[in-house]
Amino acid sequence: DAKTTQPTSMDCAEGRAANLPCNHSTISGNEYVYWYRQIHSQGPQYIIHGLKNNETNEMASLIITEDRKSSTLILPHATLRDTAVYYCIAEGNDNDYKLSFGAGTTVTVRA
Protein backbone atom coordinates (compact mmCIF):
# COMPACT_ATOMS: atom_id res chain seq x y z
CA ASP A 1 0.00 0.00 0.00
CA ALA A 2 1.27 3.45 -0.90
CA LYS A 3 2.27 5.68 1.99
CA THR A 4 0.51 9.03 2.14
CA THR A 5 1.75 12.27 3.64
CA GLN A 6 -0.58 14.99 4.85
CA PRO A 7 -0.07 18.19 6.84
CA THR A 8 -0.76 17.72 10.52
CA SER A 9 -3.28 20.52 10.74
CA MET A 10 -4.81 23.42 8.91
CA ASP A 11 -7.33 26.15 9.54
CA CYS A 12 -9.82 27.56 7.12
CA ALA A 13 -12.50 30.23 7.22
CA GLU A 14 -16.16 29.38 7.22
CA GLY A 15 -17.69 29.81 3.78
CA ARG A 16 -14.36 29.60 1.99
CA ALA A 17 -12.98 26.66 0.05
CA ALA A 18 -10.74 24.29 1.98
CA ASN A 19 -7.96 22.67 -0.03
CA LEU A 20 -6.43 19.62 1.64
CA PRO A 21 -3.23 18.30 0.09
CA CYS A 22 -1.97 14.73 0.11
CA ASN A 23 1.26 13.29 -1.24
CA HIS A 24 1.38 9.68 -2.41
CA SER A 25 4.53 9.59 -4.50
CA THR A 26 4.88 5.79 -4.34
CA ILE A 27 1.35 5.06 -5.48
CA SER A 28 1.10 2.18 -7.92
CA GLY A 29 -1.03 1.97 -11.02
CA ASN A 30 -3.90 0.02 -9.48
CA GLU A 31 -4.12 1.98 -6.24
CA TYR A 32 -6.96 4.39 -5.71
CA VAL A 33 -6.96 7.52 -3.58
CA TYR A 34 -9.69 7.57 -0.94
CA TRP A 35 -10.66 10.30 1.45
CA TYR A 36 -12.45 9.80 4.73
CA ARG A 37 -13.09 12.17 7.59
CA GLN A 38 -13.71 11.64 11.27
CA ILE A 39 -15.68 14.17 13.23
CA HIS A 40 -14.93 14.14 16.94
CA SER A 41 -16.39 11.11 18.76
CA GLN A 42 -17.84 9.64 15.59
CA GLY A 43 -16.79 6.86 13.25
CA PRO A 44 -15.03 7.76 10.00
CA GLN A 45 -17.16 8.85 7.05
CA TYR A 46 -16.40 8.11 3.41
CA ILE A 47 -16.05 11.27 1.31
CA ILE A 48 -14.80 10.44 -2.17
CA HIS A 49 -12.34 8.32 -4.12
CA GLY A 50 -10.60 8.37 -7.48
CA LEU A 51 -8.03 6.64 -9.65
CA LYS A 52 -6.71 9.22 -12.09
CA ASN A 53 -9.59 11.41 -13.18
CA ASN A 54 -10.84 14.27 -11.07
CA GLU A 55 -14.01 13.41 -9.19
CA THR A 56 -16.83 15.44 -7.68
CA ASN A 57 -19.77 14.53 -5.51
CA GLU A 58 -22.13 16.33 -3.19
CA MET A 59 -19.52 16.54 -0.46
CA ALA A 60 -16.28 17.42 -2.16
CA SER A 61 -14.05 17.42 -5.23
CA LEU A 62 -10.91 15.37 -5.68
CA ILE A 63 -8.15 16.65 -7.91
CA ILE A 64 -5.43 14.12 -8.78
CA THR A 65 -2.25 15.27 -10.51
CA GLU A 66 -1.44 13.77 -13.88
CA ASP A 67 1.49 11.79 -12.46
CA ARG A 68 -0.80 10.66 -9.58
CA LYS A 69 1.85 11.47 -7.01
CA SER A 70 -0.38 13.91 -5.17
CA SER A 71 -3.98 14.94 -4.81
CA THR A 72 -6.11 17.66 -3.27
CA LEU A 73 -9.46 17.33 -1.58
CA ILE A 74 -11.56 20.44 -1.99
CA LEU A 75 -14.44 21.32 0.30
CA PRO A 76 -16.05 24.10 -1.75
CA HIS A 77 -17.78 26.02 1.05
CA ALA A 78 -16.48 24.94 4.42
CA THR A 79 -18.87 25.05 7.37
CA LEU A 80 -18.22 24.66 11.07
CA ARG A 81 -19.56 21.09 10.78
CA ASP A 82 -16.66 20.25 8.47
CA THR A 83 -14.23 20.49 11.39
CA ALA A 84 -12.74 16.98 11.52
CA VAL A 85 -9.68 14.86 10.91
CA TYR A 86 -9.36 14.15 7.19
CA TYR A 87 -7.63 10.97 6.07
CA CYS A 88 -6.07 10.42 2.65
CA ILE A 89 -5.63 6.73 1.86
CA ALA A 90 -4.00 5.06 -1.14
CA GLU A 91 -5.04 1.43 -1.53
CA GLY A 92 -5.55 -1.12 -4.27
CA ASN A 93 -9.15 -1.86 -5.14
CA ASP A 94 -8.78 -5.43 -6.28
CA ASN A 95 -7.67 -7.55 -3.37
CA ASP A 96 -7.44 -4.94 -0.68
CA TYR A 97 -10.29 -4.58 1.73
CA LYS A 98 -8.79 -2.92 4.75
CA LEU A 99 -8.26 0.79 4.92
CA SER A 100 -4.93 1.95 6.31
CA PHE A 101 -5.62 5.18 8.14
CA GLY A 102 -2.64 7.38 8.89
CA ALA A 103 -2.58 10.40 11.18
CA GLY A 104 -4.63 12.57 8.82
CA THR A 105 -5.02 16.35 8.77
CA THR A 106 -6.91 18.03 11.57
CA VAL A 107 -9.01 20.68 9.86
CA THR A 108 -10.50 23.43 11.96
CA VAL A 109 -13.10 25.65 10.32
CA ARG A 110 -13.32 29.02 12.04
CA ALA A 111 -16.23 31.45 11.95
Question: Where are the alpha helices (H) located in the chain, listed in sequence order?
Answer: none
Interface residue with another protein among 25, 93, 108, 110 (CB under 8 A) is 93
Interface residue with another protein among 17, 26, 46, 108 (CB under 8 A) is 46
Interface residue with another protein among 2, 4, 23, 32 (CB under 8 A) is 32
Asked if 107 and 7 touch (Cβ cutoff 8 Å), the reply is no
Closest CA to 34 of 78, 92, 106: 92
Binding footprint of another protein on the chain (CB under 8 A)? 32, 34, 41-46, 49, 87, 91, 93, 96-104
